[in-house]
Structure 1
Amino acid sequence: MTTLTSDLGKGPSWIARIEGWLDDRGKPAWIAAMVLGFIFFWPVGLALLAYMIWSNRMFSSKSCARRSSRSSVTRSTGNVAFDAYKADTLRRLEEEQTNFEDFLKRLRDAKDKAEFDQFMNDRAKRSEDGPTEA
């Protein structure tokens, strides 16, 4: 029985474990694996390059390590007092972010209204002056 068939009932496959391990180490680990693949057997390097492009690991502005670090925010440390403090701080930060986004929306709406009012005033002035000859 091979490793591939023995892993079928035990959770993530060995490919998923390798992908997770590389993601934990970020984009440089993916590039190193691709270069090693080209050195030892070029089709493996080519396959890794194609996978990195297809999965947006190559050209995305966010590295793989940043993607996996979000899951560590919700992970428990085992210290109940610290976990409660962390949860309260995260809730407060999310609330502040929501309030700030609402403020920016109101600011944009006010700017749009001011621009529209200016447009309407200019249009009213042009119509009061009468039609101009071409």
Structure 2
Amino acid sequence: MSSVATWPSQAETWLDQRGKGAWIAAMILGFVFFWPVGLALLAYMIWSKRMFGNCKKSRNARHAAYTFRSSGNSAFDAYKADTLRRLEEEQQSFQNFLKRLRDAKDKAEFDQFMEERERSSRNSEPQEA
């Protein structure tokens, strides 16, 4: 069951490693053999932005293929794994920091909006003498 679920991601990784030409060839073959497959591949390529420019995901997939290969030196592999883990933790911390920063900015803007709204509603109410 799990091999059925993973074959699309394996095929995607395989095509990403070979570049945009492989995606286009797969799409053309899809049109030749069964046109809905070609149409589905075209839609996916457009939706995932593989059709335009350098695909960030395909670059990351190619980079990941080289990053996690063993060098044969166990001490270096351990150092590399530890460094990559630490960098991923720092990246996650930074992303959390940016999220908190955006949330604080959104809250400040909302509070300012509510104050201005309250001020304008007080000014628009008729004054009793």
Q: Please state if 1:61 is matched with 2:55.
A: no
State the identity as a percent. 53
The CA RMSD measured in Å over matched residues stands at 3.7
**Which protein is richer in helix relative to its size?**
2
Match of 1:24 in 2: 17
The residue identity in structure 1 corresponding to 2:49 is: S
In structure 2, runs of 5+ residues without a counterpart are 1-7
Instruction: Pick one of 103, 108, 119 that aligns with 1:125.
Output: 119
Output aligned runs, 1:7-22, within 5 Å. 22=15
Aligned length: 111
Q: What's the TM-score once normalised by structure 1's chain length?
A: 0.56
In structure 1, runs of 5+ residues without a counterpart are 1-15
> Contact 2:27 / 2:42 at 8 angstroms: preserved in 1?
no
Q: Which runs of 4+ in 1 moved over 6 A?
A: none
Deviation at 1:117, TM superposition (A): 1.9
Output aligned runs, 1:1-134, within 5 Å. 22-32=15-25, 43-44=32-33, 49-50=38-39, 52-53=41-42, 56=44, 58-59=45-46, 60-62=48-50, 63=55, 65-66=58-59, 68-69=61-62, 70-131=64-125
Partners of 1:48 and 1:128 in 2: CA distance: 62
